[in-house]
Amino acid sequence: MNTRKALCKDAISLRLQSREKAAIIEEMLDLLVQAGEIQDRKSALKCLLDREKKMSTGMHNGLAIPHGKTDTVDSLVAAVGIIPEGVDFDSMDEEPSRIFIMTVSPANRAGPHIQFLAEISRLLNRRDIREQLLEAENESQVYSLLTES
């Protein structure tokens, strides 16, 4: 999966304002809505929150990957958010989450979703990439790190 195809340049925030899980998910979804990637906000929000209720998408190493599947998108779309100081996102390692990668993908296609999650996980397993994301001065740097590394 080519992260460049999925990641929307206009759906990157270096400083998310929200500090609670549901609000973070809504704020990131709004990035995708404002970028024109999501037409049906209500359905997308429902799929994201339903998925989060099943099991937290807070991972290890300060990473959270909220994701959901819905029939309201034709292809996988992704947004990135950063909260440098970190927040509680019920992560597996019980550490604060700082880097958020949100995906919304078609309900009927598992392949791109799984490939994207595997690629992002592989990339963000690298400490240097995580540190560079947290130190990024603009959205273009974030986009380049995630699409060219």
The residue from 8, 52, 63, 67 that is catalytic is 67
Q: What distance in Å separates the CA atoms of residue 14 and residue 47, rounded to the nearest whole number?
A: 24
- Residue 88 has a CB neighbour count (10 Å cut-off) of 13
**Tokens found for residue 67:** 């994701």
Handedness of CA 34, 148, 131, 44 (dihedral sign): positive
Q: What distance in Å separates the CA atoms of residue 120 and residue 117, rounded to the nearest whole number?
A: 5
Q: Could you give phi then psi for residue 127, rounded to 5 degrees?
A: -60, -40
Q: What distance in Å separates the CA atoms of residue 143 and residue 26, rounded to the nearest whole number?
A: 21
Q: Report whether 63 contacts 101 (CB < 8 A).
A: yes
**Tokens found for residue 81:** 């958010």
- Residue 12 has a CB neighbour count (10 Å cut-off) of 23
Active site annotation includes 67:
yes
Active site residues: 67
